């Protein structure tokens, strides 16, 4: 029987990735379609993609597939051919990363989930069949010039903070399930406006556009392929990018630079910076923005307290971490910042 999971340690996998000589291409793709047996598709995908040395993270559910992966450049065509051989995925758009060092993933993980995007929707009448109209980069730029247009960012606060479209409205939450009803409430008196939803690669804004349509909005659009596809199209067509700053991505890169604008600030000193890191203290791992000066001052930690713990002997650090649930450790100025107490 074929092994459908990894048997090598994370440290060894990272070492092997760094030793690879061939450059990898990072791509993302998604598609909403009915899957009768997600587990069987998961198994089939794993065997085929593992053979092509694909690394990454893929979610499969009854509602579709969501993937962020990297593949050796020499296997890109074979990967594309394989994906297109699956009837529902034939000619699926593959978003190629804009700013890519090829080190985004080091292992292949394919998981069956209830949904490919956790949306909190329980209304049995909701359907993805009726959704907003796609707009490409040219159409996006044209609509942005229209005073009747409202642009809604359907990403989290920490994504919006480092980069967004110039006219974009932030929905102040760090979970997509909270943002959906919030967006409806925020726009309840603007049903006559052109409403464009956008996100990183298209998967969240496509569902968001369907949710808005479900609640009686008619002039709804979503940015086809999200920021990733917009940046590629804008570059190819010589368009001015109306997205400024960095596009946050959920892999080891943590960000793709779209323009040279740095619109965020270091969470420690307030100086200009848009570099996201996870606190080096393994008992914290808070995701936050840190400039180079503060990285040196705090040894890549989010506070003096964490810096002191990070510099303790490993066994002592492990003892302090016992029983701590880090939860979703994200810096958000709109919420009380909580960190586990490690000095008890």
Catalytic residue IDs: 199
For the CA atoms of 258, 259, 263, 266, what is the dihedral angle to 10 degrees? 70
Q: Helix, strand, or coil here: 219?
A: coil
CA distance 225 to 232: 10
- As a 3-state breakdown, the chain gives helix, strand, coil percent values, each rounded to 5, of 30, 20, 45
Phi then psi for 237, rounded to 5 degrees?
A: -95, 0
DSSP H stretches of helix in the chain: 10-19, 38-51, 76-85, 137-144, 157-162, 176-186, 203-214, 226-237, 292-297, 304-310, 314-321
DSSP H stretches of helix in 94-175: 137-144, 157-162
* Token reading at 297: 């001052």
CA-based torsion, 74, 77, 83, 86: positive or negative: negative
CA distance 153 to 167: 10
């Amino acid at each position: 029987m074929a092994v459908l999971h990894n048997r090598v340690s994370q440290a060894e996998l990272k070492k092997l990735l760094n030793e690879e000589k061939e450059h990898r291409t990072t791509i993302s793709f998604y598609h909403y379609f009915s899957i009768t047996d997600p587990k069987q598709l998961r198994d089939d995908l794993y065997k085929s993609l593992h053979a092509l040395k694909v690394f990454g993270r893929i979610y499969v559910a009854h509602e579709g597939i969501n993937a962020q992966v990297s593949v050796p450049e020499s296997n890109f065509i074979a990967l594309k051919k394989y994906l297109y051989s699956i009837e529902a995925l034939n000619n699926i758009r593959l978003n190629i990363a804009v700013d890519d060092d090829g080190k985004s993933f080091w292992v292949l993980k394919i998981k069956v989930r209830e949904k490919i995007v956790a949306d909190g929707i329980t209304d049995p009448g909701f359907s993805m069949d009726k959704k907003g109209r796609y707009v490409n980069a040219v159409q996006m730029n044209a609509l942005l010039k229209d005073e009747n247009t409202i642009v809604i960012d359907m990403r989290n606060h920490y994504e919006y903070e480092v980069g967004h479209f110039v006219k974009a409205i932030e929905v102040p939450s760090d979970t997509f399930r909270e943002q959906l009803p919030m967006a409806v409430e925020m726009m309840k008196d603007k049903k006559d406006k052109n409403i464009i939803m956008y996100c990183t690669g298209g998967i969240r804004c496509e569902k968001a556009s369907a949710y808005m349509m479900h609640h009686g909005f008619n002039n709804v659009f979503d940015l086809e392929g999200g920021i990733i596809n917009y940046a590629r199209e804008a570059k190819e067509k010589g368009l001015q990018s109306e997205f400024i700053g960095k596009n946050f991505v959920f892999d080891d890169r943590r960000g793709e630079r779209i323009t040279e604008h740095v619109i965020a600030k270091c969470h420690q000193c307030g100086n200009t910076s848009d570099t996201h890191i996870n606190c080096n203290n393994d008992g914290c791992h808070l995701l936050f923005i840190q400039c180079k000066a503060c990285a040196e001052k705090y040894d890549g930690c989010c506070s003096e307290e964490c810096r002191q713990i990070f510099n303790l002997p490993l066994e002592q650090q492990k003892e302090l971490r016992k029983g701590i649930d880090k939860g979703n450790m994200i810096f958000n100025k709109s919420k009380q910042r909580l960190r586990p107490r490690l000095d008890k």
